[in-house]
């Protein structure tokens, strides 16, 4: 594992320049995420690792998955990690392992990715939403206190954009009501300090290895992290048709295993995750410096934030996004419609205006390009394009 803490900008500029055909600077587009640049330092190692799986033919579970689970558990700071097929499955199986199901309520935040709420529904439980804190975009502990009921079984804080949620307050509340805290760490691989990082701060963590996440597979993948032997065994069975031992099925389960080719690729990438996260923070610092003084809110840079996304806020979001597009710069909105206004949840009776902070943020947020090995000059070009818009 690398513990290089580079504070300088990405140092691979020249290598990347050799690979990308450099065209006229003013017309070259800047993508939202450049997966080619992300994989550039370890493409060969990934090929070798995948090739070894092809040679062995152990495509399902086996030593490649065991090894990555052990490495990931040590990295996060828990005793058990269980590889699954997506972040969605990680959330669902973790909730089920905690006994959450029909008739139960699970409290989470209105401005998260849809999978958080969908995973709660998949267990048969009902998602109960709270409004976000507009300054951090994270769930607000006071609002969570107001949402607790006799049916609440769990709280899911989301470390949105890579920033750690207020775990101390949430854990205190959960202890008072005797409910589980399930961290949605799908955007927060590596957030916080050793020995316990995001995913080790509650009663279970759920990670996604969707390719563009801070730690991404070659397709879908996910991980459950827990510090409890009994929960770990349950998640292991649930992901594998309710079976811990071949041809013996102890309970109804699912097929939600992490594929071995993903596990071996993820092992390669995990060794570089701290360095990649340092680069993300370095890019965020550059953006913050270059955007200072503009009428935009910029995020604070701390070790608790791994910048899965770099999100600014402005009253003129749509015009700014259009201006960036006209200069060949991609941007994104995460997310344009809060959970409570999604058609998939109309049966839950949520209304427009019910979570005003999440709704207001949804109209103001804009994510700028952010990925490891983004070139310094591209970061500068994005920031200067934002400055030009406001001048
Ligand atoms: C990506 C993500 C998920 C779901 O992960 P998948 O692997 O796509 O199923 C859940 N929650 C959040 C906050 C995410 O960003």
User: Percent of the chain having pLDDT more than 90?
Assistant: 90
- Which tokens hold the place of 3? 């513990």
Question: So what's the pLDDT on residue 22?
Answer: 45
Q: Is the CB of 109 under 6 A from ligand 1?
A: no
Question: Using one digit for the tens of pLDDT, what is the confidence trace for 99-135?
Answer: 999 999 999 999 999 999 999 999 999 999 999 999 9
Question: So what's the pLDDT on residue 245?
Answer: 86
- Is residue 8's pLDDT more than 70? no
Question: Counting atoms of ligand 1 from 1, which one is nearest the CA of 88?
Answer: 9
| Cα of 113 from ligand 1 centre, angstroms | 6
Question: Using one digit for the tens of pLDDT, what is the confidence trace for 129-179?
Answer: 999 999 999 999 999 999 999 999 999 999 999 999 999 999 999 999 999
| Widest Cα–Cα separation across the chain | 68
- Is residue 32's pLDDT more than 60? yes
Residue 241 makes CB contacts below 8 A (sequence gap 6+) with 249, 253, 254, 255
Question: Using one digit for the tens of pLDDT, what is the confidence trace for 285-326?
Answer: 999 999 999 999 999 999 999 999 999 999 999 999 999 999
Q: What backbone torsions phi and psi does residue 35 show, to the nearest 5 degrees?
A: -65, -25
- Decide: pTM greater than 0.85: yes
Question: Counting atoms of ligand 1 from 1, which one is nearest the CA of 220?
Answer: 7
Rounded to the nearest integer, the mean pLDDT of the chain is: 93
- Is residue 390's pLDDT more than 70? yes
| Cα of 224 from ligand 1 centre, angstroms | 13
Fill in the DSSP letter of residue 348. Answer: G
- Is residue 228's pLDDT more than 50? yes
When pLDDT is cut at 50, 70 and 90, the band that residue 27 belongs to is low
Q: Is the CB of 86 under 6 A from ligand 1?
A: yes
- Which tokens hold the place of 72? 């990931």
HSE-CB at 154 with a 13 A cutoff on CA atoms is: 33
Q: Is the CB of 182 under 6 A from ligand 1?
A: no
Question: Using one digit for the tens of pLDDT, what is the confidence trace for 329-376?
Answer: 999 999 999 999 999 999 999 999 999 999 999 999 999 999 999 999
Mutation test residue for ligand 1: of 208, 214, 224, 358, the one with most atoms within 8 Å of CB: 208
Mean pLDDT calculated for residue range 255-260: 98
Provide the 10 A C-beta neighbour count for residue 173: 18
Question: Counting atoms of ligand 1 from 1, which one is nearest the CA of 91?
Answer: 10
């Amino acid at each position: 594992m690398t513990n290089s803490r580079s504070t300088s900008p990405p140092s691979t500029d020249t290598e990347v320049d050799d690979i990308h055909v450099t065209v006229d600077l003013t017309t070259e587009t800047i993508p939202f995420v450049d997966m080619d640049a992300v994989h550039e330092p370890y493409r060969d190692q990934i090929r070798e690792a995948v090739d070894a799986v092809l040679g062995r033919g152990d495509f399902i579970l086996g030593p490649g998955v065991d090894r990555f689970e052990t490495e990931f558990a040590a990295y996060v700071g828990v005793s058990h990690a269980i590889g699954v097929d997506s972040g969605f499955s990680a959330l669902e199986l973790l909730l089920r392992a905690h006994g959450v199901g029909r008739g139960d309520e699970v409290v989470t935040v209105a401005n998260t990715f849809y999978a958080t709420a969908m995973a709660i529904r998949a267990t048969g439980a009902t998602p109960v939403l709270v409004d976000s804190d507009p300054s951090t975009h994270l769930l607000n502990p006071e609002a969570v206190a107001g949402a607790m009921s006799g049916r609440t079984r769990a709280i899911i804080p989301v470390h949105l954009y890579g920033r750690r949620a207020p775990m101390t307050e949430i854990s205190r509340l959960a202890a008072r009501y005797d409910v589980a805290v399930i961290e949605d760490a799908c955007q927060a691989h590596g957030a916080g300090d050793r020995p316990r990082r995001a995913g080790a701060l509650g009663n279970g963590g759920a990670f996604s290895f969707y390719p563009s996440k801070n730690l991404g597979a070659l397709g879908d993948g996910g991980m459950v992290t827990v510090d409890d032997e009994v929960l770990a065994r349950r998640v292991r069975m649930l992901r594998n048709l309710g079976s811990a031992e071949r041809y013996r099925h102890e309970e109804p389960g699912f097929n939600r295993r992490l594929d071995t080719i993903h596990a071996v690729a993820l092992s390669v990438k995990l060794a570089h995750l701290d360095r990649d996260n340092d680069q993300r923070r370095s890019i965020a610092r550059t953006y913050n410096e270059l955007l200072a003084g503009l009428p935009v809110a910029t995020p604070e840079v701390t070790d608790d934030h791994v910048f899965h996304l770099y999100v600014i806020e402005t009253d003129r979001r749509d015009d700014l996004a259009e201006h960036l597009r006209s200069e060949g710069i991609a941007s994104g909105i995460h997310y344009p419609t809060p959970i409570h206004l999604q058609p998939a949840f109309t049966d839950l009776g949520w209304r427009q205006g019910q979570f005003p902070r999440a709704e207001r943020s949804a109209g103001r947020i804009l994510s700028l390009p952010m990925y490891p090995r983004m070139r310094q000059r591209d970061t500068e070009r994005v920031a200067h394009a934002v400055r030009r818009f406001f001048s």
